[in-house]
Amino acid sequence: MSAVGSFGITPITDVDALIVPHRASMKAAYTDYFDTPFPSDETLRDEWRTLHAEGATTLLARIDGREAGVIAWQVINGEGWLCRLYVDPIFQGRGIGRALHDSSLASLAELGCARANLWVLAVNEPAIKLYERWGWHQISDLPRAPFGLAEWHFVRDLAPDRS
């Protein structure tokens, strides 16, 4: 499927806009996995502010002026890292996540990163299948569990194959 209407991806630091798809996607994906209440809007704003302070670039996808999806990426020790890929469920299936993902990887490759990394909650099977379809591979390091749920580390090579 393709995006309907006016579609665009722009770098953004407006944390109020970033939390719209973040909150909607998180609630749809994780309602059955957390016993505690979802983070408040202010907590989500603080997460995005922290990412910006750490040098992350955030991209926001909009359809017809509505916040549809978001992603953050950054370079840490010469490697690319993706985090916070969220697409509002009402806009899922339209290529928004893929567009945000691919734009971020292209930026990381342009900056000279040979590899990209991300963490994904082990319970988020749809995301794991999606990342695997997009060329990501789980590596064998031990999972971490910052929210009480295991997360797995995935990597993807960005350098062109020279064989």
pTM over 0.95? The answer is no
52-63, pLDDT tens digit by residue?
999 999 999 999
Beta bridge partners of 50: none
- Residues in Cβ contact with 128 at an 8 Å cutoff, skipping those fewer than 6 apart: 120, 122, 138, 152
Contact between 72 and 113 (Cβ < 8 Å): no
Q: Where does the pLDDT of residue 70 fall: very low under 50, low under 70, confident under 90, or very high at 90 and above? A: very high
Distance CA 105, CA 110 (A): 9
98 pLDDT higher than 70? yes
**pLDDT for residue 38:** 77
Residues 30-50: pLDDT tens digits?
Answer: 777 666 667 889 999 999 999
Per-residue confidence (pLDDT) for residue 162, from 0 to 100: 46
Which of the following CATH numbers is that of domain 7-157: 3.40.630.30, 2.40.50.100, 3.40.1010.10, 2.40.30.10? Answer: 3.40.630.30
Give domain limits for the chain. 7-157
What tokens appear for 29 in the block?
């994906």
